Amino acid sequence: MPVQKIPQPPGARPRFFYGYIVAGAALFTMVINYGAYNSFGVFFESLLTDFNWNRATISGALSLSWIMQGVFSMIMGRLTDRVGPRIVLTICGSLIGLGYLLMSRIGAVWQLYLFYGVIIGSGMGGSWVPIVSTIARWFVKRRNLMTGIVLTGVSIGTLAAPPVVSRLISAYNWRISYLALGTVVLVAVVLVAQFLRRDPTRVKQRPYGESEGLKQGSVPETRPFSLREAVHTRQFWLASGMFFCFGFSVYTIMAHIVLDAGGLGISSVSAANILATIGGLSLAGRIVLGIAADRFGNRQVFIIGFILMAAALFWLVPNKEVWGLYLFAAVFGFAFGGCATSESPLVAGLFGLSSHGLILGVMNVVGFTLGAAIGPFVAGHIFDVTGSYQLAFIVSGALSVVGLILTALLSPTEKS
């Protein structure tokens, strides 16, 4: 359904643009959901110790959650196109909160896979696509910058949550920590979701900078594609391949970097701080590269991001020093933040906005989500077999190079 344009005569611009409320609510939701979700690695050691499960088994729950997240991102993306993000985020916040509350009671592998893999994974399916798709509808001018600002919520959450969770586990235990996470997510996300609206027509406004953006040429005049049309383009599959390489590399690191740091004799709290450093520098990447994307394009940002990610991952392979881990986290986090910010605007620029939520959701399934599901499991299996993460880091670095090649081959869709 195309976004309806609301004609407004000169001087009739509303005093306050509601899109800023939408962006603020989206930012807060990202902080809560991804702060909790990206703390998975902090709980890893406690689950290993208490249940004596191997790393591949525990990583499999994260992989399953990404599969469910991908499937539900298509459903929630389509639902967002139709009814808006308020209903979607209310449903998803309830699922995520319930999942963490149930995680505090697990005692068997099937419960880990059901509660974390299925319930939390399904809820997280509404945490990315509906939000970034909504921001794309509210902002024409400075779309990349506003997407980057909203997605700093992922960085802020990843910066703040792992150290807090690590201290909670140390002070109490992992079960109480999951109980606290569930309560915070359930209450906060459901409440804040009530401020979200699908697009400016719902409050009789128009997208920010609509006429200015088109005059300045800052937003390509891409004809709207349906999903059926999009999947028959070369660009759909090239971009999906880019997203796969990105997801594999990012969530291999997010799931296992704390354990890798622990293998160097670093304390659990300090190891969690390395994960937090990735989050902190990804915040800078989202803003700096978001501004760069508005000026130079999203494809160029992905080129920069893949170069930095590959360099950081190959640096990590022989590293045995704590300072080296922090240097890796800084470079990798900056690149991760910039690429994540450019995903949604890249899809909008290629295929338009009329089916943006659905197309982005499908591309996430065949791209980022599939990579994020496979990466942690493969890395855990490699460690179980070899006793080291080196080969996993080499594979991730190689896939970053593949992502760079695919990005270089990406061209704009034909306009008609």
DSSP-assigned states of every residue in 329-365:
HHHHHHHHHHHHHHHHHHHHHHH-STTHHHHHHHHHI
Phi-psi region of 11 (alpha: psi -120 to 50; beta: other; left: phi over 0): left
CA dist 345 and 150 (Å) reads 13
Q: How high is the pLDDT of residue 415?
A: 54
Q: How high is the pLDDT of residue 222?
A: 58
DSSP 203: G
Residue 25, amino acid:
A
Are 33 and 96 a contacting pair, CB within 8 Å?
yes
CA dist 413 and 390 (Å) reads 39
Low-confidence ranges of the chain (pLDDT < 50): 1-13, 213-220, 416
**The two structure tokens encoding residue 136:** 């794309």
Residue in 101, 51, 21, 34 with CA at minimum distance from that of residue 372: 34
Q: How high is the pLDDT of residue 11?
A: 42
Q: How high is the pLDDT of residue 311?
A: 95
| Cα angle value 140/366/185 (rounded, 5°) | 70
Residue in 278, 305, 309, 277 with CA at minimum distance from that of residue 290: 305
Q: How high is the pLDDT of residue 308?
A: 96
Burial-class residue 269 by CB neighbours within 10 Å (0-12, 13-18, 19+): middle
**Domains of the chain listed by start with CATH number:** 19-409 (1.20.1250.20)
Q: How high is the pLDDT of residue 257?
A: 85
| pLDDT tens-digit readout, 308-348 | 999 999 999 888 888 888 999 999 999 998 898 888 889 88
